[in-house]
Chain A
Amino acid sequence: MTSQVSSPAEQAEPADQQGGQMPAGGQRSADGGKEVRRLDRVIIRFAGDSGDGMQLTGDRFTSETASFGNDLSTLPNFPAEIRAPAGTLPGVSSFQLHFADHDILTPGDAPNVLVAMNPAALKANLPDVPRGAEIIVNTDEFTKRPMAKVGYDQSPLEDGSLDGYRVHPVPLTTLTIEALKEFGLSRKEAERSKNMFALGLLSWMYHRPTENTEKFLRQKFAKKPQIAEANVAAFRAGWNFGETTEDFAVSYEVAPATTAFPTGTYRNISGNLALSYGLIAASRQADLPLFLGSYPITPASDILHELSKHKNFGVRSFQAEDEIAGIGAALGAAFGGSLAVTTTSGPGVALKSETIGLAVSLELPLLVIDIQRGGPSTGLPTKTEQADLLQAMYGRNGEAPVPIVAPKTPGDCFDAALEAARIALTYRTPVFLLSDGYLANGSEPWRVPDVDELPDLRVQFAAGPNHELADGTEVFWPYKRDPKTLARPWAVPGTPGLEHRIGGIEKQDGTGNISYDPANHDHMVRIRQAKVDGIAVPDIEVDDPTGDARTLVLGWGSTYGPITAAVRRVRTAGDRIAQAHLRHLNPFPANLGKVLAGYEKVVVPEMNLGQLATLLRARYLVDTRSFTQVRGLPFKAEQLATALKEAIDD
């Protein structure tokens, strides 16, 4: 028996029901060394001070794990303050990683291993760690002052409060300094590498490949070779410490998830990176230059950073003076024929609302990327939430419908970006893409798509007159619509003969001239709505393996992972439940009403107070049941499973 015990399995295979509880097998290494046990999955959480480099450590462990071929899912969790006072609870930063030999859906509910770099990290994270788990603590930090800072009168390492855990007390700081003494670094400089010592130790424990981390460190510190070598040395020292010390008697293997993935080339990818790549791909597939107008805001800034790196793809990234200018510049570029994008989070959407309304009125393609975070107001800048759905749906003056798409996993942000671009370009409309902090920073293995298989997004700019007046004159009418899509022509400046004026004042359908005519306004409001309502979106697919479930769980966005994990648990326990997940929030898939009507009970889990549920109730008169949480964290599969079970049994 090992402490590496998982909570109930995420997958329904019978073997895993027990397999998850037990090591999949164990053996002594051939050279008579330490015992090696096999596990099917592990959840590790690195926790430390904001300045301890926990995100980097987590990222590196993730990369090692990805290149090893495990399935994985990550949850970075950090404070909004860049450097909160050292050693305090608000300053704790953590990175949770779940990896397995089979396909998994969430970063895991409860860690099997906690790495606590200081007392604050231990105190902040211990409530999430079940008894029986392993805890690696940096004992050097468990001195009077750091402990007093977080209210430990006595050392939790000695007062029995960690009974039931398998505690590994490791003087990480001392060992790191010792390992680096020949580098001639100051104590402070040497200490900084203690995260790499910890990474080395964990890499040994889980048989992670190490070459890429060493390569990464040498690249990262290319301009400071001494620091690079010191970090490599600390990393190796951590590995060797695991190999030699008696305290770590066992190491673990989690085999690659070979059968979990379809054939292909894979890489690890975060949501914001996938989204950035999706935008570049959309630009290529549309054969239009990409223009990003943006103002830095957490957790969206990484998209601005990423796109700014790829100027050789013709990407123009414009850091504006404010959120309004960000979308304004994008809209100007859209008028000029660019694939225009603005990226932001909830507070930024609020500022952009008027310009989104203008884009609705101008009927120009524009992508509005909202990486949702906790609100209202500044809220929880670094934490996740799904509470901007109604803002995206209704947050403008007048009747101003905007299509909405939402990705469901980090990798899916790539496809969602292409889909948002398709809708914007085809229907000449602003489109919301609602990602969130969890998708943005979380990562998973992603099958690298074949560029030749990407959708064709090419558009036809207007090239000549499109209307004949009664007297036979050929003219250009900027609001003469495509009868099928109701989209208006996109005539970009520089096209001779198509000079025209557009604006936010109501315009006459067809000519686009200013019109205050009551009947025309009524017509225009309805036709803009009809255009969005008529957007072709695929039917929603329902996963109902037995075909006779009476309860449906319906989600949208980043809850896909936790909901699917919960559904597996429910089904494994012998209950029947159907699952469906919405990519399109506006318009809804045409078959959604029928799907909802087919179930006695519809459960809608959301990280808000029931916004999708409100839309469904209003639209379909369905008595949905909301299961909501706004804790700034993704749902835990276990809690969701319980909620689903209650709904089934109700």
Chain B
Amino acid sequence: MTDTIAEGAASARHALSLVPKSDTKQTMKDFKSDQEVRWCPGCGDYAVLAAVQGFMPELGLAKENIVFVSGIGCSSRFPYYMNTYGMHSIHGRAPAIATGLAASRRDLSVWVVTGDGDALSIGGNHLIHALRRNVNLKILLFNNRIYGLTKGQYSPTSEVGKITKSTPMGSLDAPFNPLSLALGAEAGFVARTVDSDRKHLTEVLRQAAAHPGTALVEIYQNCNIFNDGAFETLKDKDQAQEAVIRLEHGQPIRFGTDQSKGVVRDQRTGDLEVVTVTAENEHQVLVHDAHAASPTNAFALTRLADADTLHHTPIGVLRDVERPVYDTQMSDQLDNAVELKGKGDLGALLAGGDTWTVVG
């Protein structure tokens, strides 16, 4: 039933080249498990689940070779609803568990579902190390800027001064910028999308799936119970025009009504800034290059949004560059060892070193 593409230097460039293909045409229904979905009515997670289930048939992979691994939190219930292999693990550890699975099974398409608390607080260490290591994982980070499952404490992405049950006078700690963090951790693929924009979300998933190595997709996700409207600026049709910058590789970074705004480099500071595009400055508008070797522009883009108003929030693929993939290299080392030393011979290993014989 499978038609695995033979492993070779060229084919290994695609993240899914070793994953067997499905021999039947799949539909969204094939990826729905028999479990009742138990998120709060109106939760943004439903939209993401539907988008992922809708996208999976496009990959055409044998679904037994797809695994979803999650940690703890609302979003981490995700694997139960996917009719694939799945593991709902413990808080923050999904990237570590998925690393072991992906590194030992290159014929699998491994997805991590995590949240802002799971990935950036308790599991921060595993996230940054998965990114720098570049294991073949696709990490979907549902960022709702709040702790939902524990009923509404502030999270590591909550804005400063957030009033919650644990911070009645306002939270004190400065939030993480997840994409800045990811780029600092040497991530090769960094993207941002929004739960309610299914088309955009699907396109980002498409690019993430094709990326060899770790892909981090931050999904702005609304928690309608504890942090409702956190991303409303980006969703409201009228406001979104001015707030959202849709990045497309190879295209000038322009947005706003009639594409009147553009992102240029301040010649004095080297920083990126938003300007009203004129005939004089039009040629200065940056052309987005997701494949740029240097992460400088991608990093600057992650810092462009206003932290309070979310105005000038770039969405799309900020960075998509190839780096050596950990599991590929690990596998190569095993092959090289066999080439150099021959396939392991247990008897010879055990009797290695200085031996002596005792005769009856």
Contacts and interface: CB of A to CB of B under 8 A. Distances in A.
A291 B63 CA distance: 25
A324 B93 CA distance: 8
Contacts of A358: 89-90
A494 B2 CA distance: 11
A449 B351 CA distance: 9
A332 B69 contact: yes
Given A329-B97, A501-B86, A504-B89, A312 B103 contact: no
A566 interface: no
A514 B80 contact: yes
B89 A267 contact: no
Interface in B77-105: 79-80, 82-90, 93, 96-105
Contacts of B20: 494
Nearest to A495: B64
Most buried by A among B82, B102, B104: B104
Contact of A267 (B33, B126, B353): B353
B67 interface: yes
A338 B104 contact: yes
A66 B354 contact: yes
B169 interface: no
Which secondary structure dominates where chain A touches chain B? mixed
Given A496-B64, A501-B80, A325 B96 contact: yes
B333 to A, nearest CB: 6
Contacts of B338: 311-312
A325 B101 contact: no
B65 A493 contact: yes
B86 A329 contact: no
A502 interface: yes
B347 A451 contact: yes
A318 B354 contact: no
B48 interface: no
B96 A324 contact: yes
Interface stretch (A163-171, A257-265, A382-390, A590-598): A257-265
A503 B356 contact: no
Nearest to A317: B330
A336 interface: yes
A322 interface: yes
Nearest to B109: A493
A266 B357 contact: yes
Interface in A299-314: 310-314
Contacts of A493: 64-67, 85, 101, 105, 108
B180 to A, nearest CB: 20
Most buried by A among B67, B85, B347: B85
A316 interface: yes
A63 B336 CA distance: 31
Contacts of A555: none
Contact of A320 (B64, B85, B96): B96
A303 B86 CA distance: 31
Interface string A242-267: 00000000000000001001111111
Contact of A316 (B62, B90, B104, B336): B104
Interface in B214-243: none
Interface stretch (A88-96, A277-285, A533-541): A277-285
A319 to B, nearest CB: 10
Contacts of B337: 310-312
Contact of B358 (A264, A291, A354): A264
Nearest to A67: B354
Contacts of A503: 79-80, 86-89
Contact of B97 (A67, A332, A449): A332
Contacts of B79: 501, 503
B340 interface: yes
Given A318-B103, A320-B96, A493-B67, A501 B344 contact: no
B122 to A, nearest CB: 10
B90 A504 contact: yes
B244 to A, nearest CB: 35
A266 B347 contact: no
A501 B93 contact: no
B85 A284 contact: no
Given A265-B356, A494-B65, A291 B100 contact: yes
A494 B33 contact: no
Given A277-B350, A325-B96, A499-B84, A354 B64 contact: no
A312 B64 contact: no
A333 interface: yes
A332 B98 CA distance: 6
Contacts of B83: 499
B64 A329 contact: no
B108 A494 contact: yes
B340 A312 contact: yes
Contacts of A332: 69, 87, 96-102, 104
A272 interface: no
A523 interface: no
Interface string A335-362: 1111010000000000000110110001
Contact of B100 (A68, A333, A496): A333
B267 interface: no
A267 B342 CA distance: 23
A21 interface: no
B354 A333 contact: no
7 contacts: A67-B354, A328-B89, A329-B97, A499-B64, A503-B86, A505-B88, A513-B35
Q: Which 10 A-B pairs have the closest CB atoms?
A: A503-B88, A329-B100, A332-B100, A328-B96, A313-B344, A311-B337, A332-B101, A325-B96, A501-B86, A332-B97
Interface of B: 1, 20, 33, 35, 62-67, 69, 79-80, 82-90, 93, 96-105, 107-108, 125-126, 129, 330, 333-334, 336-338, 340-344, 346-347, 349-360
Given A324-B126, A502-B88, 14 more contacts: A258-B358, A263-B359, A266-B358, A268-B354, A277-B350, A284-B344, A314-B344, A318-B100, A328-B93, A334-B100, A357-B90, A358-B89, A493-B85, A503-B80
